[in-house]
Chain A
Amino acid sequence: MISASLIRAPELSLRWIPVWRRNLLVWRKLAIAAVLGNIADPLLYMLALGYGIGSFVPEVGGMKYIAFIGTGMVCQSAMFTSSFEAMYSAFSRMHVQRTWEAIINAPLSLDDVMLAEWIWAATKSVISVMAILAVVLLLGFGHSWLAIWVLPLGFIVGLTFGAFGLVMNSLAPGYDFFTYFFTLVLTPMLLLSGVFFPVEQMPAALRGVAQVLPLSHAIDIARPLLSGRVPDGIPLHIAVLLGYAFAAYYVALVLTRRRLLK
């Protein structure tokens, strides 16, 4: 049963800021461990695959393989960071610690909390992209001012996958539920979007699938930026990412209202 109050338009106000600040404060307490965690995984992939496979395939799409995979890692890290934040961490705050319940007893609404969580997930993506970008620069790639633009891109990717994560969160009976999202969405996304090898290598059918995957649109922007070129078709790529983001956010909001405001 879906009532009018569940499907009403999202409330937009600046009341999300204190909730976002709360999350930032918690993050700051464990910032070093968090940033190391952000870097470790992608860094290992980058070094192992970059130098390992890179020794067989010196160049991919006109880039050194390690640089190729470095740009993939920037995008995958934005994807994983926001997904994790909007699923595991948001679920802890919503269900386990009942932090959201405390907040909506104050003069904030559930819409304010959701907006804060969404923007926070995207903020975490930016933080992780910043960390990986530093590594990529230290390894001697992406030396161009254009590279800075992957930070706002990270924010947009964070909005997309943060919204997906919030949809999962609104339906989750427990933490185990999130495994479905990893197996059915994130892993295929990672393998089919051109993180490890160019999409052009794949059969036509899979190339078609890649066209509709948000991560491949992020990679189409990030890869030229990190090799010092202005990407083609920016408006389309951004429109796809934001289209997914806003649609998923609205679904997440309706489902979360149904879950908590009954």
Chain B
Amino acid sequence: MQGQGGDDVVLAVAGLRKSYGDNEVLRGLDFAIRRGECFGLLGPNGAGKTTTLRCCLGLTDPNAGTITLVGEPVPKAAREARVRVGVVPQMDNLDPDFTVVENLRIYGRYFSIPAAILSERIPRLLDFAGLANKGNASIRTLSGGMKRRLTLGRALINDPELLILDEPTTGLDPQARHLIWDGLRQLLSQGKTILLTTHFMDEAERLCSRLAVIDHGRMIASDAPRALIAAHVEPEVVEVYGDEARQWADARGRTLADRMELAGETAFCYAKDAAPLLNDLSRQNGVRYLHRSANLEDLFIKLTGRELRD
């Protein structure tokens, strides 16, 4: 990871700490985002993702640590930094009293963008958001996916150097998610820098060039998605389920797999070579199984555990 303040570092965070009363939400977080990359913050609910973003935007004062956002010290010059940053919040906060175009124009005024520049940018943003024929529609008539796309378009009104997205596709159907992902890939190909939080592993795997897994306010791993998986998880996975799965797991799975985890009625067998497992399973009755390669979800579960969070 690069040091702070380098030319190509868009956001640098060092030693970030934040407590609410006795509850230590961030316990010394460090990361840096380079120009042009898509950096993902992954973590279970309550891991500190949203608090981290709030600190980076200067909306929450950290107890300790330094933040440099687009070259400005935060929170000291947070407002100046936000001139060059776009934000897609976790929950939609479009202005329901306005039309689609009015939402963009009025948001642009908060950045003191001259009317002429807004008039030129807005049609392009409508195209980008796939809302070119919805300019005069009321926000209340838009679907969830359209609202998200408009929120993404609104975050680009100031042509930001860094785009920050807090769980951009939570609550969307698969079609709508793919449209958002296409939009984000398009932005990356134009050289934009993106920081996103998510707990969807497929989202992180598709979009992020680098990611950090955080839990209990600490970073527990950070690298490119494939490198992280290679470093922490056995390459092959066999999921075994069915009436006899548990019995088989205790009798055979435990010895044949390099590592095995039980979750409900399913046994997850991790191995460098899955051939012995598959060989044995093919001779069993009463079990079904799925053979696949390791993915980010396996990594995430390994690093953050299987127990439920809220």
Contact = CB atoms under 8 A, between A and B. Distances in A.
Given A19-B110, A103-B110, A109-B79, A26 B97 contact: yes
A232 to B, nearest CB: 44
Interface stretch (A35-43, A93-101, A189-197, A245-253): A93-101
Residue among A5, A102, A260 with the most chain B CB within 10 A? Answer: A102
B60 to A, nearest CB: 6
A102 B95 contact: yes
A97 B95 CA distance: 7
A229 B96 CA distance: 47
A22 B95 contact: yes
A261 to B, nearest CB: 6
B95 to A, nearest CB: 6
B57 interface: yes
Contact of B95 (A99, A108, A260, A262): A99
Nearest to B84: A107
Interface string B128-146: 0000000000000000000
Contacts of A109: 79
Interface of B is mostly: loop
Contacts of A261: 59-61
A106 B20 contact: no
Give the interface size bracket for B toward A.
Answer: 20 to 34
B110 A106 contact: yes
B74 to A, nearest CB: 12
B109 A21 contact: yes
A105 interface: yes
A18 interface: yes
A99 B102 contact: no
Interface of A: 1, 3, 5, 18-19, 21-22, 25-26, 29, 97-99, 101-109, 260-262
16 contacts: A5-B61, A22-B109, A26-B98, A29-B97, A98-B93, A102-B94, A104-B59, A105-B57, A105-B87, A105-B89, A106-B111, A107-B80, A107-B83, A107-B110, A107-B111, A108-B79
Given A18-B112, A107-B82, A261-B60, 17 more contacts: A3-B61, A18-B110, A21-B109, A22-B106, A22-B109, A25-B106, A97-B93, A97-B96, A99-B93, A99-B95, A102-B89, A104-B59, A107-B83, A107-B111, A107-B112, A261-B61, A262-B20
